[in-house]
Structure 1
Amino acid sequence: MTLYQKLKASGNPQAIAQVTISLLESHSVKETAKILGVTPRWVYKLKERFRLSNGDISACIKKRGPKFRMPTRTPEHIENLVATLAKETNLDSKRWALFIKNTFNIQLSPFTIRNIRRRYGIRCQKHITITDSRRFAADFSAFEPLQFWQFDSKHIADQSALPPEAYASIFKNKLPLYQFTAIDIKTRLRFIAYADSLDFKNSLTFMLLVAAWLRAFSVKHQLFFQTDNRAEFGGSATSRKRKLIQKLIFDHWNVSLLNIPERNKKTNCFVERSHRTDDEEFYALNLNKATSRSSFLNMAQNWILYFNYRRPHFGKNMNGMTPVEALKFYRCLYHPTIGFMPVVVLDQLSNYVSLLFDISSLPWDNLPKNKKLLNETMTHYNLAHRSSFVVPALSLPLPDLPAHRNND
């Protein structure tokens, strides 16, 4: 990098002229041009401007661009509005165009907003890099709305994805460290929950909560829950634990568990992409504002309501619709409050799972070949508590469970 380029990148518009005039006092024009890394013609031009301005250095560097404002350019007060709000919201150009149209009734092209942000030097803050890997293409016509769900867990405290102040706030205010997410690939309807530990019991609780919530809103068709192959979701498709929870628990809910291929996260692309949205539009902007766990949960609840009811989506077949608007587009007659699932802490809620299933009694480990199982169902149901799935401030109906078998 030449001296001229360094001076230009310093941020001081008069630095080039100041250094050039000072060098001309003891060097010739050619020597000054060689030191700066420019042509002698440019040095002659600065020298002439300095002479004509009677020693005014500020007049040596002229502003680039047209002398007069373009007649079709966006009015200055609208540009100032876009620049001011763009620093606060961190939205891209497409969402900005829709936001300004709905809020201020101002029609602007996304490309116009892009040009305004370039002129003011405002960019969307990206905390996760974009790779060149191929994207997974889903066949939306093969599934009904609210039928195919992708599940995943996320470690919130990620230094590579969050600003330093947001990252420090997690430990300062003792916030939950893990987020569980479920998203419908066709409408982008999304549910989240939090946990202090990343274990199998919390993952099972979250999947049961989502299934119970959908059944409570009369989603009667078969559900597909796709997860990765990590231990908190029961492992790979061939693992004993995965087969047991499918046969003994989810078969009674008409839910099929699916696994993504090994080391192929792009097949879970919808839920993986939603993590980046969380980082850039929620955690990076609001984590440092959380002063307690309760305030954080309130902000998370408002965020997921905004995501389901107000945030436009521009993915395949969405065209700026919100998830709830997409349900109406597909003519799904579900109650509009289906996107209001409460944001809970799974470590507390998982204690209620024992009212339905005695998880500790399931034979997760491989049994000896010569050992005979006394209980052929391999599970125990507490029938005294099978009437409802108890959730704080929420009561959801259960599907029919198999009759209790006497082991005597």
Structure 2
Amino acid sequence: MINGTSPAFRSAIDQMAEVGFEMLIYSFGSGFDMESNNEKYIEQISSDIAYAKSKGIEVGGYDLIALTRQVQVDWMAIDPTTGKPRDSACFASGWYDYLLNRTLTFMDRTGLIMVETDGPYGGYSCASTDHVHHRNNDDSIYQQDILQGKYYQILRERSVYINQPDYYFYQGGSKTGMGYNEEQYSLPRWMDISVSRQGMFDDTYQRIPTMGWMFVPLTVYHGGGDAAQFEPLVQHQIEYEWALAQYLGAGVAACYRGFRLYDTNETKTLVTKWVNFYKKYRSILIRDIIHVRRADMQSIDSYMHIDPYSNDIKGLAMVFNPTSDPVETVLPVPLYYTGLTDTAQVSEQENAWQNYTLARDYHIDLPIRLPALGITWFLIK
């Protein structure tokens, strides 16, 4: 959410409730301030969050906590070469205590249940000899790393959901960026969609889908102007549906950064369609991914979720045709990790079930017929 005023916030919440979204995050640039001790502001946020919860929606917020964060000078990290402050806060200074206190107090008073911590501690040293949690440059990296982990542990003990752009999973982090350079979201929409699907495909070799987030720049992010943003949504319905389908179809939550989710009944229908799809098949969409065919924008591409322990649906395959021509082909789909051994039943978009016999290497040849820029999905049991 890029607008933190109450009217804009509640309008977005109403839209989210209509289409089935479950969490709103105050983004950077929205005016949100999790470190505020202004009573009037805290009362406003508390009231708005209560409104969101009455609609079944949880709320989180953004904060820049260490890397490139400017704080009071005696809390800044000191460069050992120049003896001058770096451009980042020292996480083993009094800044840590201040930040933790402000974060917990704000959450307790407002009902905020999620934090998006940008710029967590990233490995730089600090040569200060006056900071409360480290002696000098020699122990500064170790102590900052320990305290960053402790910060997340304390939040996790309170069941706070944490987005963090780094690998702090063992310290309590919930989700990190999935396969991207932030600048890709300033590319023209189709380039962004394509590159992002490739990156997501690659990163799900290392992570389960729910460990990562992606990004949909409904409004301009770093740059790119009208060619990059999805607004007005009604004018870019095809691209918007592709973004919804590839992220929800991968089980990877995306940040839809803007001020609304739909601008017409047509775009509302698009969002509702894919949210309903996700919620209906959520139990398998959050499962591990089998990488069927990586996107090269020359033909179809596909990934498949599998759940060998299910007594019903054991696979769900998403198939995309990013080309400007219809495609009719056969897609080899490996079913070994579904647990199926001899036969499989396959349904395209809940249509009639078709029977297949598995080859000796446990694959089936799945006929694919897609129009230009077509998307489909298959259930396998």
Task: Give the TM bin, normalised by the shorter chain.
Answer: under 0.3
Give the TM-score taking structure 1 as reference length.
0.26
More helix by share: 1
Using CA pairs under 8 Å that are at least 6 residues apart, name the structure with larger relative contact order, 1 or 2: 1
